[in-house]
Structure formats: C-alpha cells, structure tokens
Amino acid sequence: MAGMTMDEPLIVGLELGGTKCIATLAQGRTILRQQRWPTGTADTLHLLSDALTLWQRETPFAAIGIASFGPLHLNPNAPDFGHMGNTPKPGWAGVDIYGHFASRFTVPIAIDTDVAGAALAEGMWGASQGCSVHAYATIGTGVGLGLVVNGQAVHGHLHPEAGHMRVRRQPDDPFVGVCPSHGDCLEGLVGGPALAARSPIPAADMADDDPLWHRVAADLAEWTTMLILALSPERLVLGGGVIQARPMLLPLIARRSADLLNLYIEDLDPLALEQLIVPPGLGADAGPLGAILLGQRAAIARSSL
C-alpha cells in the first residue's frame, strides 16, 4: 500500500476539534481505521479512550499523538502540561487531556495543537513540502494557526493564538463579533458561531456570491497580510470547514492580500500570492495525519532512549 512499509509501527492519532473528534489508526501515512464523535463535554475523552482500549486489544499500537483545539499548556516541565487553557468551549477549561490518556496507556504520547499537527503533516506530506518556514491556519468553528520552522512547531510562552488577533475592520461592517474574550477578533468575525450570528441564512445554504463571503474574505485578507509581514512564510495553508466548503474564498483572499501588500514585498504579486496561500495538500486528512505524525515522533523519541 502507498505510504506504508511493513516495518513501520501502528500509530493512533486523536484529532480533537471544536465540532468533532477523530481517532485514526495508521501505519506510515496510510489510514487503516477511523472513528468519529461529536465534541461534546470533556466526557468525550472517555469515549475516545474506551475505543482505544478496544483497538489496543485487537491491533496493538506503538504510540498516541494528540492534536487538540486550544489553548493548550505545552511546557513539558510545568505541572499543567497537557491541560486545556482558558478555552471558550464550555466544560473544557483546565481539563487534563494528556493525563487522561497517559493514565490509561503505557505507550508514548505526544500532544500539540490541532493546527500545529496539521502544519507538520502538510510539511511532511502535503502542500508545504520543501518549505523551511510555513504555517497552517484553520477557519472553522474557531480560527487557529500553527507555525513550523525547520520541521518543528513553534512554541514559546504558549503557542500561536493568532485567531484572536484583531484585524482592521471593514468600514461598512457593523458586526460586533461573538468571541467571549475579545468580541471582534478574527475568530469572533469569521468562525462558525460568527457566521451563524451574522446572517439568518445558515452558512451551508448561502450562495457563493452572498455578500457575506466577501466580508469574510476581506477580514481574512487583513489577517493573512499581517501573517505574511510578521512571519514571512514560504507557504500559508488555509484549511478548516469554512474554507473546505467555500474554496472560492482562497482567490478572493489572495487578491485582496495583494492589494493590501501593494508590492511592498516586490515578488508577491497576485499570482505569487495564489501560490503562497493555498488549500491543504492533504485535504481533510491534514488534521488526522497531523495527530499521526505527532505519535510517530513520540514513538521515535521513546525508541532512541
């Protein structure tokens, strides 16, 4: 099978998203088994660990990679390592995600944000192959960004929380935003709950030429322009449910970003920006394979001890 050699270990990847959780069993990048659950309360973790217990009995796996929505505490030397931070998702703040699985399984476990995992996977197998500096952004229930430099996800005081940056507003847009922490940050303007609040028409039922999509593209272009200026990525992958459902947003974002940059970076004309701002090369598998890659790295780290 493509992407798999028989000596590669079986790895479990857990992608914890704002809307759904996906458990994946893979060998190499070949997905062998997958199961999904709605992301309810933190009790959802018990559903995942129960499923993994069954999987482990049937087909023993070598490691677990967890790629979760955030914010996450990722300092391995801190007592709150692997805990959820101050998330707006009800019932999840402070939950010990890493500890839940570490107390039930003896295999090595790695945890990072869902966007960091997807960014790593895109660099290994997808649209960002060959790039030293690249990013993956999700625009879905929430908005997040994973940044990779030389094959490593960037962490510092926390990890990038660029979805909560404020962007320059469109002068004719009165929407106040829905983020419980920041109101009209980017997530509060274009995330799933924001789209639901902006229009009586469900986002899934809107026409592609609905004026709301032009507002969304304009807001996202303000953001991508700031990311390009601040981070200088060689590739900026835009994924998540909103982009997946509305791929026509990508050229709108690229063209608006070109207008905003105004050739300040001389080689980033509209055509070049359409090559820099791209959809995931792995499609909907970017998130699950990101979790798998985290697990693979955990297995390698354990074997090298």
Match 């997958």 to its residue by tokens.
34
Domain contains 245: yes
Q: Based on the domain organization, do 103 and 54 belong to the same domain?
A: yes
Residue 17 and residue 139 in contact, taking contact as beta carbons nearer than 8 Å: no
Residue 303 confidence class, pLDDT cut points 50, 70, 90:
confident
CB-based burial, 121-136: b 16+ in 10 Å, e otherwise: bbbbbbbbeebebbbb
165 or 88, higher pLDDT: 165
**Residue 122 domain flag:** no
The predicted-structure confidence for 198-221, as pLDDT tens digits, reads as follows 999 999 999 999 999 999 999 999
Instruction: Please check the confidence at residue 3 and state whether its pLDDT lies above 80.
Output: no
* Global pTM value: 0.94
DSSP code, position 228? H
87 & 222 share domain = no
pLDDT at position 305 is: 62
**Is 99 within a domain?**
yes
Residue 195 has pLDDT above 60, yes or no: yes
The reply to whether 71 and 186 lie within a common domain is no
The number of folded domains in the chain is 2
Same domain? 273 vs 293: no
Instruction: Please check whether residues 291 and 259 belong to one and the same domain.
Output: no
> Is 134 in the same domain as 272?
yes
Largest separation between any pair of C-alpha atoms in the chain: 59
Q: Which CATH number covers residue 59?
A: 3.30.420.40
Segments forming the whole domain that contains residue 29: 10-114+284-303
Give the pLDDT confidence of 59-118 residue by residue, as tens digits: 999 999 999 999 999 999 999 999 999 988 889 999 999 999 999 999 999 999 999 999
**Pair (18, 88) in one structural domain:** yes
Q: Using a pLDDT cut of 90, give the percent of the chain over it.
A: 92
In this prediction, residue 2 carries a pLDDT of 46
Rounded Cα gap, residues 29 and 229, in angstroms: 33
Indicate whether 198 and 252 sit together in one domain. Answer: yes
Hey, which residues does 111 pair with through a beta bridge? Answer: 66
